[in-house]
Amino acid sequence: MGGKKMIWKHLTSKEIGNLDKSIPVILPIGAIEQHGPHLNVETDTLIAEYFCHELNKEIEQEVLILPPLAICSSEHHMEFPGTLSVSHETLIAYVKDVLSSVSRNGFKNIIIFNGHGGNQAWGSVVVESFGVKNPDCNLAIMTWWKIASKELFDITETGLFGVGHACEFETSLLQYIEGNNVREKEIVNGPVTTTFEWAAADLIRGSRAMLHRSMKEYTSNGIYGDPRVASKEKGKRIVDAVMKRFVPMIKDMKMPLEKK
């Protein structure tokens, strides 16, 4: 490959055809949705794609990155301007077709890398349903805040409801990744409206049961958490924590086509 970055859309047909087919292929998925008054609507997609490109830098030639899927499941944000959403049914069918195309190219180790909470439900369905029909594939879905949840607990300065959406973590990441796109003067706290004790949750603290609420019902300004304690330095700590876990997980996926 002569040192070329392993980005699917930047390679030629011949170059892709000559690749080692045990190389893990990653599909970044995110969202186009409101992120309060201070972050742009591509935040989730930008974060997912950033982690994947950092992975490409760390283990170049050992991973292949697909173009990101940006418009995903954001129905719960539709009361805020700028949000775009696709139904679960459409996403499941579309992504399964993408994965099938990757598999037909000979790649069998495939990862969906997720940057948006609303993608977890349908993403799990894709992994299970595609996996059952394609037993020759090793398919996983990884979500950035889950793969390093223990380390992220040590980084957060806010309690329950502090890291949810356009929050301490996402704002810190954007300040580190693309600081010019953060509207610093617009950063305010998110006035989170609580429901039941058993439904209380945020990115790194799970609830005991799922209760549906739209984002507008949780917060009037689109922020779920407290971005006032965000910082560029904290963003770097988050990136380092996630990458420390992400790299070995992807290396685990690079195996012979026969499952271990």
Domains of the chain, start order: 8-253 (3.40.50.10310)
Which amino acid, residue 48? Answer: A
pLDDT digits (tens, 9 = 90+) for 86-136: 999 999 999 999 999 999 999 999 999 999 999 999 999 999 999 999 999
| Number of DSSP helices (H) and strands (E) in the chain, helices first | 9, 6
Report residue 258's pLDDT band, with 50, 70 and 90 as the boundaries. low
Enter the DSSP assignment of 224. E
pLDDT at residue 255, as a whole number: 63
- 3-state percent helix, strand, coil for the chain, nearest multiple of 5: 45, 10, 40
Q: What region, left, alpha or beta, does residue 205 occupy, with left being phi > 0 and alpha being psi -120 to 50 degrees?
A: beta
Q: How far from chain centre, in Å, is Cα 155?
A: 19
**184 Cβ partners below 8 Å, 6+ apart?**
38
Q: What pTM value is reported for the model?
A: 0.93
pLDDT digits (tens, 9 = 90+) for 4-54: 689 999 999 999 999 999 999 999 999 999 999 999 999 999 999 999 999
pLDDT digits (tens, 9 = 90+) for 199-245: 777 787 777 787 787 888 889 999 999 999 999 999 999 999 999 99
